[in-house]
Amino acid sequence: MSQTGILYLIPSNLAEDTADQVINEQVRAVIKETKYYLVENLRTARRYIGSLKTGVVIDELHFEILDKKTTPAEVAKLMGPALQGQPIGVISEAGCPGVADPGALAVAFAHQKGIKVCPLVGPSSFLLALMASGFNGQSFTFHGYIPIQKKERIDFIKQMERHAQKKQTQLFMETPFRNNHLLEDILQHCQPDTLLCIAKNITGADEMIQTKSIKDWRKAKPDLHKVPTVFLLY
Amino acid sequence: MSQTGILYLIPSNLAEDTADQVINEQVRAVIKETKYYLVENLRTARRYIGSLKTGVVIDELHFEILDKKTTPAEVAKLMGPALQGQPIGVISEAGCPGVADPGALAVAFAHQKGIKVCPLVGPSSFLLALMASGFNGQSFTFHGYIPIQKKERIDFIKQMERHAQKKQTQLFMETPFRNNHLLEDILQHCQPDTLLCIAKNITGADEMIQTKSIKDWRKAKPDLHKVPTVFLLY
């Protein structure tokens, strides 16, 4: 235990029942030593820690919620144990904390207070999609969730396509129940020879990662409804 | 074994002697089943597979070099075993294949031929740096190695700073023996209140990840000479 505390960024599995496969020994060792957690979702965090079968007694752990409603002032309070020298773990809903979740708030606070930040290795859907796309990994932009409004969204897609044409890979996502609409918009508004990689349910049993031209995707569209998907243009 | 073959993207450890900690069970299971490898560096790939202690006999494996000199025509030949239904593994010098290494060539070929591409979970220095920076992970650009020429390089740094001011995190790297020069350029040409995260020897025993303003970094500069480092502006 460090005297100034430590903030562990603890990844969790993306697809159900895959923790045994994708979570490494270091994550297990950290969970055995950590009593305080800031989590995006209480139920999934508890279930995740239980699924690692480290022998930890879940009822002896302290969980606090860190989600998109948490204010910076609240974060300062939640980080109390770290200021007293305790290790704290951040666990997001799925994947790596601090990327597309509120974990960054706790990290920013830690840097301000000189608390050591230790990111642990684990699954990240956008990284796995990038690796498997075959696109340029030396230069890329991740946009997170793209605009919902029709006009703004189509402009955004066309702008991403222009960057992709300059050899910068473009990664983006959509709320899963709107995935099929997003795919329609991409197929309708991108050029026939632009490459699109669709990475669906990464690390899951029905994982599908395929790169094709827009004109080839137009011939046979996959059903992405309610399935976590990363889209890449190049 | 799939009839159309499969291309596994196999991550390796970043820092020395950390494979036991950061490499998961799925990677070990794939290595037990895979006889054909495309690797960036023969010696480090053999040593890596040996270090996992899976019981695999290294001398029974087939290694081919896939590096920056490999042409697309050569890749087609190297991928022969996959076309005959064999699993092939890609291993880069360190970290995740397909991101900042020639692995993407093999992936692009696989997509063209309908060979399944399976990315495995493992360490990625830029992802860990992003998680631990406290910066915006919903919108970021990774630039890989930035220009070497002085004028072009300073323009590039200033342009990145403008994007960072628009809340898009900027990630970049330099050849380790030029790290201190890059740091000088950043400190000289960025605004005092711009935030810089320096992530040095990630996953290593002397890992250092700190976020400070440019004006605070100016007061005490870390020595980054010959140490793998990711830089982030925000």
Q: Is residue B1 part of a domain?
A: no
Q: Is B182 exposed, middle or buried (0-12, 13-18, 19+ CB in 10 A)?
A: buried
Q: Is residue A74 part of a domain?
A: yes
B98 with B190, same domain: the answer is no
pLDDT at residue A4, rounded to an integer: 76
Check CB contact under 8 Å for B139 and A144: yes
Q: Which domain holds residue A182?
A: 125-233
B56 with B108, same domain: the answer is yes
Query: Smallest Cβ distance to B24: which of A22, A131, A137?
Result: A22
pLDDT at residue A2, rounded to an integer: 46
Instruction: Quote the minimal CA–CA distance from A20 to chain B in Å.
Output: 7
B214 with B142, same domain: the answer is yes
Residue of A nearest to B198 (CA): A111
Chain B partners of A137 at a C-beta cutoff of 8 Å? 98-101, 104, 144
Instruction: Quote the minimal CA–CA distance from B147 to chain A in Å.
Output: 13
pLDDT at residue A144, rounded to an integer: 93
Instruction: Quote the minimal CA–CA distance from B102 to chain A in Å.
Output: 9
Tell me what the mean pLDDT of segment B19-42 comes to: 96
DSSP type of residue A33: H
B82 with B179, same domain: the answer is no
B106 with B129, same domain: the answer is no
pLDDT at residue A99, rounded to an integer: 86
Query: Smallest Cβ distance to B96: which of A110, A131, A139?
Result: A131
Tell me what the mean pLDDT of segment B68-87 comes to: 93
What strands, in cross-sheet order, belong to the sheet with A62-65? Answer: A62-65, A36-39, A87-91, A6-10, A116-119
Residue of B nearest to A198 (CA): B111
Residues in chain A: 234
Check CB contact under 8 Å for A29 and B21: yes
Q: Tens digits of per-residue pLDDT, A93-140?
A: 999 998 878 899 999 999 999 999 999 999 999 999 999 999 988 999
Query: Smallest Cβ distance to A21: which of B26, B127, B142?
Result: B26
Chain B partners of A124 at a C-beta cutoff of 8 Å? 121, 124, 127
Q: Is B54 exposed, middle or buried (0-12, 13-18, 19+ CB in 10 A)?
A: middle
**pTM of the predicted protein model:** 0.95
Chain A partners of B117 at a C-beta cutoff of 8 Å? 132, 134, 209
A32 with A109, same domain: the answer is yes
pLDDT at residue A198, rounded to an integer: 98
Tell me what the mean pLDDT of segment A32-39 comes to: 97
Q: Which of B91, B120, B127 to mutate to test the interface with A (most CBs of A within 10 A)?
A: B127
DSSP E strand boundaries for chain B: 6-10, 36-39, 62-65, 87-91, 116-119, 140-145, 169-173, 195-200, 208-213, 229-233
- The confidence band for B3, taking pLDDT boundaries of 50, 70 and 90, is low
pLDDT at residue A101, rounded to an integer: 81
pLDDT at residue B4, rounded to an integer: 76
Domain boundary residue, one of B119, B143, B160: B119
pLDDT at residue A232, rounded to an integer: 98
Closest by alpha carbon to B160, among B168, B150, B152? B168
Q: Which tokens in the block code for residue A25? A: 């020994």
Q: Which tokens in the block code for residue B185? A: 């350029």
A195 with A150, same domain: the answer is yes
pLDDT at residue A3, rounded to an integer: 62
Give backbone dihedrals phi and psi of B129, rounded to 5 degrees, phi first. -65, -45
Instruction: Count other C-beta atoms under 10 Å from residue B206's C-beta.
Output: 8
Chain B partners of A25 at a C-beta cutoff of 8 Å? 20-21
pLDDT at residue B125, rounded to an integer: 96
pLDDT at residue B1, rounded to an integer: 43
What strands, in cross-sheet order, belong to the sheet with B62-65? Answer: B62-65, B36-39, B87-91, B6-10, B116-119
A155 with A103, same domain: the answer is no
CA angle A87, A88, A90 (to 5 degrees): 145
Query: Smallest Cβ distance to A21: which of B25, B101, B127?
Result: B25
Q: Is residue A1 part of a domain?
A: no
Domain containing residue B143: CATH number: 3.30.950.10
pLDDT at residue B100, rounded to an integer: 75
pLDDT at residue A100, rounded to an integer: 74
Q: Is residue B47 part of a domain?
A: yes
Chain A partners of B121 at a C-beta cutoff of 8 Å? 22, 121-124, 128, 203
The number of folded domains in chain A is 2
Rg (CA), chain A: 20
Q: Tens digits of per-residue pLDDT, B178-216?
A: 999 999 999 999 999 999 999 999 999 999 999 999 999
Domain boundary residue, one of A70, A88, A119: A119
Q: Tens digits of per-residue pLDDT, A136-193?
A: 889 999 999 999 999 999 999 999 999 999 999 999 999 999 999 999 999 999 999 9
B12 with B95, same domain: the answer is yes
Residue of B nearest to A216 (CA): B112
Give backbone dihedrals phi and psi of B38, rounded to 5 degrees, phi first. -110, 120
Rg (CA), chain B: 20
Euclidean distance between the first and the last CA atom of chain A, given in angstroms as a whole number: 46
Q: Over 80: is that where the pLDDT of B143 sits?
A: yes
Domain boundary residue, one of B90, B119, B148: B119
Tell me what the mean pLDDT of segment A188-216 comes to: 97
Chain A partners of B212 at a C-beta cutoff of 8 Å? 111
- The confidence band for A1, taking pLDDT boundaries of 50, 70 and 90, is very low
Q: Is residue B13 part of a domain?
A: yes
pLDDT at residue B2, rounded to an integer: 46
Cβ–Cβ under 8 Å, residues A121 and A114: no
Domain containing residue A49: CATH number: 3.40.1010.10
B132 with B91, same domain: the answer is no
A104 with A181, same domain: the answer is no
pLDDT at residue B228, rounded to an integer: 96
Tell me what the mean pLDDT of segment B140-165 comes to: 96
Instruction: Quote the minimal CA–CA distance from A121 to chain B in Å.
Output: 5
Tell me what the mean pLDDT of segment A58-73 comes to: 94
Tell me what the mean pLDDT of segment B97-111 comes to: 90
B86 with B184, same domain: the answer is no
Q: Which residues pair with A222 in a beta bridge?
A: none
